[in-house]
Amino acid sequence: MRDESHGQPARVPYVFPPFGTDAVADAIRARRANDTLLDLDGVLLNSVPLAAAWNEVGRVIRYKNTIPGDMRELLILRSAVLNRAAYQWIQHEPVGRAEGLTTAQLLAIRFAPPFTERINGAASATSDFNSALSPELAAALEFADWSTSAVRVPTNVYDNLRQFLNDKQMVEATATLGVYSMVSRVTVGLNVDGKMDVVVPVPQ
């Protein structure tokens, strides 16, 4: 296990209890790569009950979700773009690639104009970006835009994604966006790893 010293400061101190001294921290470690706490975990552990609940919700969203992995990561990454949450993007771009998202698809997620711009006449640019996405992922991108930025999802946008997912998966997709919008707000609002004002990276 690597040293859990933090990177850049956040707006609150990082709390990294030594291994074996805190049951909640160790439960979070068990879900993380290399049993290592992230800077986000160090921020959340300022409130142990919140960190415990957060870990359980995160575990379900990541590992008990039945929507396809590439779609799940598209939803997470798109919410990072819309919320200007660089930390979230940096954590999930490698996961997205591992789930099968290509560089071209990541570029579409990163740069496709948000729905408000499409409404105002950027449809041709959107078509160019969507050409990198399957119909399922393009429908998920549109759904993510509405759910994240407008909250109220129009029926046609909902139905467009529903043709690819069952009712259980629609709940999971909507919940994934809700949870990761919460992640965005915590990581940006508390300046986790000093990334509050960092531009969301461009996939290479």
Q: State both tokens at 63.
A: 């590992």
pTM above 0.85, yes or no: yes
Query: Is there a single domain that holds both residue 124 and residue 101?
Result: yes
Q: In this model, does residue 147 exceed pLDDT 80?
A: yes
Question: What CATH number should be reported for the domain holding residue 189?
Answer: 1.20.1290.10
Q: What is the mean pLDDT of residues 3-20?
A: 85
Quote the domain boundaries for residue 141: 69-194
Q: How far apart are CA 187 and CA 162, in angstroms?
A: 30
Residue 122 lies in a domain: yes
Confidence of residue 120 (pLDDT cuts 50, 70, 90): low
Residue 13 lies in a domain: no
Write down the pLDDT at residue 130.
66
Residue 1 lies in a domain: no
Q: How far apart are CA 7 and CA 111, in angstroms?
A: 28
Write down the pLDDT at residue 117.
57
Least confident of 109-118, 126-135, 171-180: 126-135
What counts of helices (H) and strands (E) characterise the chain?
Answer: 11, 0
Residue 73 buriedness (CB in 10 A; 0-12 / 13-18 / 19+): buried
Query: Is there a single domain that holds both residue 45 and residue 104?
Result: no
Total of domains in the chain = 2
Q: State both tokens at 81.
A: 């773009």
Least confident of 25-29, 126-130, 148-152: 126-130
